[in-house]
Structure formats: C-alpha cells, structure tokens
Structure 1
Amino acid sequence: MNPAKQPITVAELIQVQAQNNPDRIAIVAPKRASLTYGGLRDRIDQTATILSTLGINPNDRVAVVLPNGPEMAVAFLAIAATATCAPLNPAYREQEFDFYLSDLNPKALVIQPGVGEPARIVAKQRGIPIIELFPQLEAEAGSFSLISENLANPTAQIQNPESHHIALVLHTSGTTSRPKIVPLTHSNLCTSASNIRQTLNLSESDRCLNIMPLFHIHGLIAVLLSSLYAGASIVCSPGFYAPQFFSWIEEFQPTWYSAVPTMHQSILAQTQANREIISHSKLRFIRSSSASLAPQIMAQLEATFNVPVIEAYGMTEASHQMASNPLPPKERKPGSVGVAAGPEIAIMNETGHLLSIGEIGEVAIKGANVTQGYENNPKANTEAFTNGWFRTGDLGYLDDDGYLFLKGRIKEIINRAGEKISPREVDEVLLEHPAVAQALTFAAPHTLLGEDVAAAVVLKEGITVSELEIKEFVAQKLADFKVPRVVLFLDEIPKGPTGKLQRIGLAEKLGLTASNPTADLVEYAPPQTINEIKLAEIWSQVLKIEKIGIHNNFFQLGGDSILAAQIVNRVREAWGVELSFLIFFQQPTVANMAIEIAQIQAESLESEELDDLLANIESLSEEESQNLLNE
C-alpha cells in the first residue's frame, strides 16, 4: 500500500484496495462465489445509498442483528463506512435486546428474517425502524438486498464520514457492573487494523479463516479489517464449529486464523482424525487473543501444526490489539502477550505512578487506537483515565525485554483473607496434570475468609481422577493457600457469547454459595483422646476460637497458610512429629490429624525397634542371625 494513501476511514480503506486491485478476491465463503474488492466497494456504495434515503448519516446509529457470515461482514463494513454500526449478538433474549436497544437508541435496526426475532419485537415496541436484510445466495458472497417500509428522504445525498466520526459502538462485558458503551472512531479502527497488519506481516497473498463472532471486536478488527487493510482475502464462515474447521482448512487453504483459547482447545481435540489435512495446510502462523493462552496449549498447537503461535493482547477500548508476540525469527515468550504492538504500554500503581521494569501493577495504554472515553459515563471515565493513560483493569509487569506478562484481571484476583491469588497461575498448574483437558480457577465466596479458591475442571476423555488427587498435585507445586478448596468436574465449563471462559460470576452460575464453599460446618463434637484434646487446644490458641470440634474443617474456621505453619510448629514441639502441609488438604480436622500423628509415632517406633534388632544381629554369628530373622 502506498504510504501516501493510508486510509483514515473505513470507506477509504475499501476504496484504496478497490482502486489498486479491483479484481483481487476480498471475501469468500462456503458454497458461495467469491467477492472481489471492486464488488465489495459496489456493495458498500449501494448500502450507503439506501441508508441515506432512510435519513441515516454519519454518527447515526444502526443496530445490526445478523448471523456470522459474509453478509454480516459486508453489512458491518457498509454501515461503518456510512454511519455508525452497533452489532449485537443474535442469541440475546428479549430482555437483553430491550436493554441494549434502549441504551443505544439506534436510528434503525438491520435484521435478517428468522434471526434474532426477539430484537424485532423490541424494535417494534420502541418504534425503531426495521430494515430487512435478504441474502442473495445465488450472487457473490456478501451480496444482499435491504428493504424498509419507512423511506424517510428518497432524495438524500450521501455524506461521507470523517476520521473523527464514530464508526463502531460496542458494549463492555458488564460482568461486574452495568455494560458501558465504547465508541470507536474511524481513526481508531484504521489505526488498529494497520497495527495488526504490521505485527503479522500481512500481505495480499494472505488468507484468513474467520471463526470469531462478527459482533465482537476480535472478529471485526483483528480478522476482518486487518485482512482488508492488507489487501488480503478472508473466509467468512458461519461461525466456529470444530468438526467443520478442518474441511474449511482443506477447501480454502488459509494462511492463518485467530481464535480464543477455548476454540484452540476444541480444534486440538479434532487433530488426530485430520493429520492428512494438517500436513498439507498452508498455515504460516496461528493467532490467539481475547483470553490468556496456557503455555501447554501453545506448545500443543505448535507441535501439531508446525507453525508459530502468536499470542496477542486486546480489548474493545483499544480497538482490539495492544500487545503481541512477534513473528519468528524474533522471540516468542510462552506465558507473555508480547511487546507493545501499537499503543504505548506502561505499568501503573493505584495512585497513577508509573512503575519500573519487573514491578507488578495495572497495565495502562495510550495511542491513536484507544477510545477517547465511555459514552455518557463521567464516573467510569474518571476511573479509567489517569494523566492521559487508559487503565485496562489488568494486572501485569514488563520484563527487561519489554514483554508483557499478565497476572489476571484485577477484579478476578482472589482475595483470600488478604492473600492475593492469581487464578491464571493456578490454571497453568492444573493444566499440567495429565488428566486435565481444561481448567478455570475462580473465587468462591467464603463467610470467614471473604473469598476462597475454587476450580472447574474438564477431564480428558476416558480418564478419571479424584478431587483429592487434583488438590495433592497442585499442593506439590504451589503454596497451600493457592490450592483449590473445591474442584468441580464438569463436562463443559460455561463460556461467554464469544467463547471466552468467564471467571467472574462463575461461582454463582455453578451454585457455590457463601455457606458452601467447601464442606458444610458440622455439629460440634468434643475431643476424646489425649491427642485430640492437645490438638484442639493448639487449634483453639492459633485460630483464637474457644471451642474446636474434632470434625470442624480448618479452613472453614478461618485457617490460612500462616496459621497452618504455626500448627505444624506446635505439633513438632509437642510430639516431635513432622506433619506435611498436605494434611491440611487431605485431613483438615482435629480427628484426622490426631490419627495421622499416632500413625507417624507408630511408624517411628517400629523403625527404632528394627534398628535395635539389626544392631543386635550384627553381633551374632551367621547361624544365630538367620534364626533370629526367621523368628
């Protein structure tokens, strides 16, 4: 692309490619003829004409409820190039559409018959004009007609948007608060698309297989717009379906694809039956973003496909990409989301002071791809922006080479009675277990500790393992306070609409309440044996609880790693016995601990008796020794 013609709007981006290479393929789709850049420009011009006749101009909002595929891709480009596109998940329920449409207050709703019908109901109730989109399946991919009964101004002139106009609005996830509207300008989108193109060294010869939802920033910018910015082609699939993935790889021969980690794991599960297709694929790299990629999954992908896996870091407020691992021969660091790839990146403390290399704090960014602020939300903007930096809400640090390592979302960090636990760290250990296919660590409510550690686990097919075995495995690799108190075995971990695993709110979804983060407290049972009486006294002194029942759980009584160490020390002083910290996960009651102490004492006594016997044997003749051993 000629540097003098760097596009600053979505319309210009397509126009530049159409002028330079009108016959080059832009969009392909299963069972459809391909659409060229010249054809794509024509579709955008046609849509712009229709929208203008409806009185829709730059900065006017058009909500879009369409299924994944080439029509959604072209509709986004055409509406963003003309007005402001507000794509919504077609799987929303009526109540959700009512919230989003009322919040967006769009000038029109574009909808395909039979898709997202609750949106149609809400639009009629709210008096929002409806524009019907009818795919033209016999024509090139992305061809459609638009029909509306409410022609507002048939003679209206098309107004071209400028770089500062809003091209796209999306909502934040709203996991912990009301979803916020993120407005992104043409300049934001074009800057981000250019950054991604440069990071991945995309050229006209590349082809991306899109399996990401096109109502999400990852699919819209990282996949669609970056490909078009490079003059490359994009395969618009109907959405992610693991069994179909390899047939698309075989048919369209893409050079790359981008996905979230759960999609990569589903793809890996299908590789054994598709070795032949993999051996003939033209993939030159695989990209991962929108959630942390476990180093184990990265290694499996690279070994399976024999191409580099590029992990990147993105979010809606940055028009997606903020950091990325580079392509070879530059170094890719497993566990890192790479170096700054567009905006500036810094690490900030709570007061807004920028931290040094290696110090952990909140990741902050600034640059031309970053939103100027949330819409109509001064409180959120005050919290999010400090001295021109946007605070991402992610915890991390930069190493000496400028690579960014994330520790998790600040709101996802588990605060267990003041002990801060990164769920990602526990995830990675869980995934090292040979029986574990997927794992997600999250905060479970606790009446005494505030929060405790829980984990949802999906086992590999045909393999079984107990909850205790999982806990013991983690306890060998992490401090005891990081070991999950609850391990739930699931067939599938609940995901968000884009395929991301969501920690926040998972305890509630899975039915873990504050009264049941581990086993329920049991009725008081007084100590009986000498060991139980002495142990109960030690527990009482350490935990500062007057009455300790022999079946009460150490952690439910408020125990933590510091208090566990004190108990181990006092047991050593009282009995001369060395307890393993594993006992706090296997037998965290006075009754079981008393039994363990007795067993260790018995084994020690037997060992001493055997030593005495062996010493005596050494002083006897061979015949006398043999007779003694036989006895």
Structure 2
Amino acid sequence: MAVPAAASVRDADRYRPVEVTGLVDLLDRQVRERPYARALVVTGERVQLSYRALATLADDMAARLGGAGLGRGDAVGLICANTAEFVVGLLGAARAGLVAAPLDPALPAPHLSSRLTSLGARAVLLDASASGVGSLPVPAWPLRVDVSGAGTAAVVLEPGVCAVPQVMGGSRELSERDALVLFTAGTTDRAKMVPLTHANVAASLRNICGTYELGPGDATVAVMPLFHGHGLFAALLSSLASGGCVLLPERGRFSAGTFWDDMRTVGATWFTAVPAIHEILLDRSEREYPGPQVPPLRFVRSCSAPLNTATQRALERTFGAPLLSAYGMTESSHQATSEPLPQRGPLRQGSVGRPTGVAVRVVDRGGRACPAGVEGEVWVQGPTVARSYLADGDESARTFVGGWLRTGDLGTLDEDGYLTLTGRIKNLINRGGEKISPEHVEDILAGCPGVAEAAVFAVPDAVYGQRVGAAVVVREVDGIGREEILRYCRDRLAPFEVPDRLELVAALPYTAKGGLDRKAVQARYVP
C-alpha cells in the first residue's frame, strides 16, 4: 500500500540537526525517540523495518562478528547489493568496532581478491547477489536477513567453526576510529583505498542533512549502489541519521520499470542519482511517469558526473521539483558542494553549488588562489576529507597537501562562492597546444536536439598531437544526423573544439558508479 506523501508534516517530522558521532550511534536517536518509525522498506513484498528492529538486527550482527574472532579495528569486506543484508552487515560491523569495506558484487573474482588482500581484510560478508564471486583469499560468510511480513527479522550468519586467520601483508593503518574503507578507480584491480573515520562520516551526514533539511518526514528510494559514496552517504546514511525512510528495490538494484511504483510505495519526497539515470527516467517519462499519482517531490539531486543544463531544466519541468546539482569525491566523504534548496539561496545555471561544511578554493599550477571566474584546480579542506590513501604513500603525497585535497578537477568560483566544474585535468585534450575540456564539448553536444548522450575523447594525430573525437547516441524518433550535430557544434564551440571525428553509436559504456567509463570509450572508439 502506498504511503501518503509528507506534503504537510508535523513539527516532529521536520528537519532537526543531526546528532551522530559516526556509524556506531547512527540509529540511537531514532530508537530513543521514534522506535517504531519505519527505517527501511525491503524485499519484493515491501516489508517495513522499524528503527528498533534495525538496531536489534545490527546488535545481533555485532555480537556474532565479535564471537567469530574478529577484533576491534579489523577490516571486514562487504559484498552485497542494495539489500537489508548490506545495511545490517555495515551497521553490525560498526557496532562491533570493525572497519567495513563495501565492494562491488559485479567485480571479477581476481579484482575482489586483490582488494581484500591489499586491505588486509580478515573476513568478508556475502549476500545472495555475491553467490558467483568464486574463491576469495579470506573466509567468506554468507549473510541472510530473514524478514517476515509483519516486519520482524532475524540475522542468519554461518561463519563456520574455524577461527579467523591472521592476514599477512595487508594494510595495518586502520584502527577502531575508522568506520569505512571505500575503493576508487572503477573496475581496476589497482584501486586506491580511502579510509574514512567515524568523524568523517558524522561530518558528511551533518552537511548532507543540513543542506537538504532532511528529517523524519522524508523518504527516498536507493537508486545508487551502496558500495559507492553517492548511494551510501547521500541516500542511505543521511536518511537513517535524519530519521527518514529508505526503500531498497527488489533484487537490490535500480530498475526504471519499477522506480515510480517504488517512489509511490514509500511516499518519497526526494531521490538522488547520476545523470545517466536521470536521462533514462526522462526518456521514459512520457509513457511511464505517473504524474499526480506520485507524491510531490521536495527536490531531486544529481551528483557523481556532470549534468547538462538542458537535461536539468527538462527534468524540473517533468517532475515539478527543483533539480539540485552536487559535487563530491570518495576522498571527501562524498559531498563537498551543492546547490541550495530554492528557499535557501539562488540556483546558478551550470553550477554545482556552494561548499557544504568544507572550504573550497581554486588554485593555479603554483598553488596560488585564482581570482573569481579564473579556471584552476579545485581543492577541498574540512572535516570530511580523508587523511590519506592506505598503503600508497606516493599517491597520498600528491593528493593530500597541507590538509587540502587536490581533486584533479578543473573549475571556477564566482564572487558568491558558487563552483562551476569545467573538466578533469587528466582528461584534457591537447590539440596543437589548445587545451580542450571533453566535458565542455559533451555538454554542448548533449544540448543538441535529438542527442541523448555524448562521449568526447582524444584521437591521436601526427600533426596536432591530438584531435577531438566524439561518440553520440541519438534518439531514434528525432532522426538527427551527423552533419546536423556538427552544424550545431560549430555555432557554439571554438573551431578547435568541434569534433573532427563524430560517430553515431547505439549506447555508451558506464562504470558501476554510473559515470561515463572513459577508459572503455577510448578502447572502443580509438584505433
């Protein structure tokens, strides 16, 4: 049964500043004040789990992990989809004083093994989605959360009879003040490991909840994978910290076909996703968006990749809610900037908003602050920023400088502190000395009527060093051709930015996080 939207909420359901110190006490306030309020909606039957029930499951999980031989500060892997098992495993590990390391269930077994070994994990928890991962270098314990239709649940964990072995050669840089280790670098087996403390987590949740004024009257659907900071911090943890509710889709992953029914079921007031998912929902909206049957949304959030302005405005018209762009990195515990709620400040076209609880500056190659409007590298400093990478001193020295995180992103700040991103330093195309941002060219291409998606890449050239290539997905109903797209570009780009090579393709490759997979694009379209 659908839950009515929180169009008019009681005072007790409104935003209150978050009071957490990390993952350990994430549920405590709600258990004290609203124990029977719904925290999660899970399984295909959409069963509601209360805060009290979830806390009981987490405590049971913590006791079982401690009883299996894991000690405080030990790392444990978590290979789960967006399921109750993920949430219980994560919070149970935290309450046991362990450090949880979520991993993508879709990674090949050699990559999973490499990450677990580099981390020095002593065990890994698996849900049903990880049944085909193969052999792993540490004990793998199947985890199941049995949920009844009445909202009662029980943890089933089968760690076996063997003691947890000591793992040699892994990172020993963790302690019980650490909450999480998240991995970067997509699907490679050389991913960087980012340790985040409970203090980092708490600061991030305060910033996110404060930016969007999340409270007990809010609910959302977990669209993004929880092994990545976007889904983990912005959807799951911020909702639980603020007393809201999260629906975990059936089979633990986003489905465009069931999305609006999920939103209606939970009475969602907002959701967050990457631009690729927003594009999917927009493309299907004419036949699938249920209009008045959907609870009115307070806002929609976009993060983890650039969202072109034309798509943003079309989404706002379709969904009848402001679309707020945000920016962050794994190393900054997800969010660093965001557009504010409309009642809290103006929206700036093309911007990713103002800093949220951190300091942001744009610097030149010498590390000097750039004047307003001048492009440079984006640096971030504050309580959400990680201390370093694990077991990678050289990369840590390059990235974490004097308390600042060098993001590798290019951008500008205006006089009011709004950040506009212009590209990635490592993605720049050098065409005869002219530096071209592929993200900028993609934004122009995406604004062309009939273009659904675009990827821009460097094509080797004997004369200029590099030329501009583009792969473009067009909407069949519009019937737009190559010459029309190039004509549109010539009217809006500098001559050296116009693609020298443009291919019309059926689809573009994306990473598990939902961002454009530039390595796959380069391999697929560059000879």
* TM-score, normalising length: structure 1: 0.75
Count, aligned residues: 499
Q: By how many angstroms is 1:174 displaced?
A: 5.7
Secondary structure (helix, strand or coil) at the match of 1:67 reads coil
**1:471–1:484: 8 Å Cα contact kept in structure 2?**
yes
After superposition, where does 1:140-219 map in structure 2 within 5 Å?
A: 140=151, 143-150=154-161, 152=163, 165-173=177-185, 178-219=190-231
Give the SS at the match of 1:11.
coil
Whether 1:223 aligns to 2:235 is yes
Q: CA deviation at 1:255?
A: 0.4
2:337 aligned with 1:323, yes or no?
yes
1:278 deviation in Å? 4.8
Q: How does 1:145-544 map to 2 (within 5 A)?
A: 145-150=156-161, 152=163, 165-173=177-185, 178-237=190-249, 238-278=252-292, 280-329=294-343, 330-508=345-523, 510-513=524-527
Amino acid at match of 1:219: G
Equivalent of 1:23, from 11, 15, 36? 36
Distance in 1, Cα, partners of 2:141 & 2:289: 45
2:20 corresponds in structure 1 to 7
The verdict on how the C-alpha distance between 1:461 and 1:13 changes in structure 2, with shifts beyond 3 A counting, is same
Aligned residue runs from structure 1 range 65-214, under 5 A = 65-82=79-96, 83-113=98-128, 115-118=130-133, 120-121=134-135, 123=136, 126=137, 128-138=138-148, 140=151, 143-150=154-161, 152=163, 165-173=177-185, 178-214=190-226
Asked if structure 2 preserves the Cα contact closer than 8 Å seen for 1:313 and 1:337, the reply is: yes
**CA distance 1:114–1:386, shift in 2 (3 Å):** closer
CA offsets, 1:18-58, max 9 Å, x none? 11211111111241321111111111110110010112133
Shift of 1:151: 5.4
Equivalent residue number for residue 46 of structure 1: 60
Q: In 2, Cα distance between the equivalents of 1:464 and 1:142?
A: 53
The structure with the greater share of residues assigned to strand is 2
Any stretches of 5+ residues in structure 2 without a counterpart? 1-11, 165-173
CA contact (8 A) 1:394 1:410 kept: yes
Alpha carbons of structure 1 residues 397 and 177: separation in structure 2 relative to 1, 3 Å: farther
1:562-615 CA-to-partner distances (Å, cap 9, x unmatched) read xxxxxxxxxxxxxxxxxxxxxxxxxxxxxxxxxxxxxxxxxxxxxxxxxxxxxx
State how far apart, in whole Å, the 1-side matches of 2:247 and 2:155 are. 17
Q: Aligned-pair RMSD on alpha carbons? A: 2.3
Given the alignment of the two structures, is residue 64 of structure 1 paired with residue 64 of structure 2, yes or no?
Answer: no
CA contact (8 A) 1:412 1:504 kept: no
Distance 1:210 1:4, change over 3 A: closer
Q: Distance in 1 between matches of 2:305 and 2:198?
A: 25
Q: Which stretch of structure 1 is more off in the superposition, 162-171 or 222-231?
A: 162-171
Give 1 or 2 for the bigger CA radius of gyration: 1
Q: Deviations over 1:530-573 (max 9, x none)?
A: xxxxxxxxxxxxxxxxxxxxxxxxxxxxxxxxxxxxxxxxxxxx
* Residue 138 of structure 1: how far off its partner (Å): 2.8
The normalised TM-score by structure 2 is 0.90
SS in structure 1 at match of 2:518: coil
How many Å apart are 1:75 and its aligned residue?
A: 1.9
In the superposition, relative to structure 1, how do residues 68 and 506 fare at CA in structure 2: closer, same or farther (>3 Å)?
A: same
Partner of 1:522: none
Contact 1:314/1:320 (8 A) holds in 2: yes
Q: 1:505, CA displacement in angstroms?
A: 4.8
Q: CA deviation at 1:336?
A: 0.4
Determine if contact 1:183/1:371 at 8 Å carries over to the other structure.
yes
Higher relative contact order (CA 8 A, sep 6+): 2
CA distance in 2 between partners of 1:144 and 1:461 (Å): 49
SS in structure 2 of the partner of residue 59 of structure 1: coil
> Which is richer in helix?
1
Residue identity (%): 35
